């Protein structure tokens, strides 16, 4: 089971890094506003990457519960900026920056960050883990796969 989680985490990290690299390659041609937004988005990518690294480390240290929590937290963080990242990626990959509404993307990102329910989700997951470790593991696997799918989709857009 541990190997499977570590594999999912590695795949997700690889997809994240590839998406970031492809966007970075396009960044030379960004407008000032697009560059500023990319900087903000890159910080969010880094936060997700850090959570995935922490989850991997927790599985290495046999701290399963913590590892599951970190995968789900990484998924939660990604969900908050997924739409903004997809819109941004679509626009910059098609070189349609003239139409890129950075203010709208920033507003969407701020709105999504405003409703941080992670503490509540962490408590729910803790109860689920105590009640059914198998169900909690399924939820954690699903979260890890979704992270990978989102970054693969971003990469395909470019």
pLDDT, one tens digit per residue, over 29-77 is: 888 888 888 999 999 999 999 999 999 999 998 888 999 999 999 998 8
Q: Which residue has the higher pLDDT, 88 or 46?
A: 46
Q: What average pLDDT score do residues 108-114 get?
A: 64
Q: What is the number of structural domains in the chain?
A: 1
> Cα separation of 122 and 127, whole Å?
9
> Cα separation of 76 and 147, whole Å?
9
Q: What is the pTM of this model?
A: 0.81
Range of the domain at 137: 2-157
Give the pLDDT confidence of 119-157 residue by residue, as tens digits. 667 777 888 888 888 888 888 999 999 999 999 988 888
For residue 99, pLDDT over 70 is answered with no
The pLDDT score that the predictor gives to residue 6 is 93
The pLDDT score that the predictor gives to residue 131 is 84
Please choose, from the candidates 114, 106, 70, 82, the residue with its C-alpha nearest in 3D space to the C-alpha of residue 16: 82
């Amino acid at each position: 089971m541990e190997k499977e989680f570590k594999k999912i985490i590695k795949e997700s990290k690889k997809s994240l890094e590839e998406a970031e690299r492809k966007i970075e390659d396009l960044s030379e041609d960004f407008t000032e506003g697009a560059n500023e937004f990319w900087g903000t988005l890159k910080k969010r990518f880094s936060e997700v990457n850090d959570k995935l690294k922490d989850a991997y480390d927790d599985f290495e240290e046999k701290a399963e519960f913590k590892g599951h929590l970190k995968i789900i937290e990484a998924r939660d963080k990604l969900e908050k900026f997924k739409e903004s990242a997809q819109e941004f990626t679509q626009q910059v990959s098609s070189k349609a920056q003239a139409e890129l509404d950075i203010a709208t993307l920033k507003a969407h990102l701020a709105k999504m960050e405003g409703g941080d329910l992670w503490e509540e989700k962490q408590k729910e997951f803790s109860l689920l883990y105590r009640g059914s470790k198998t169900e909690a593991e399924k939820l954690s696997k699903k979260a890890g796969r979704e992270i990978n799918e989102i970054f693969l989709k971003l990469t395909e857009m470019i």
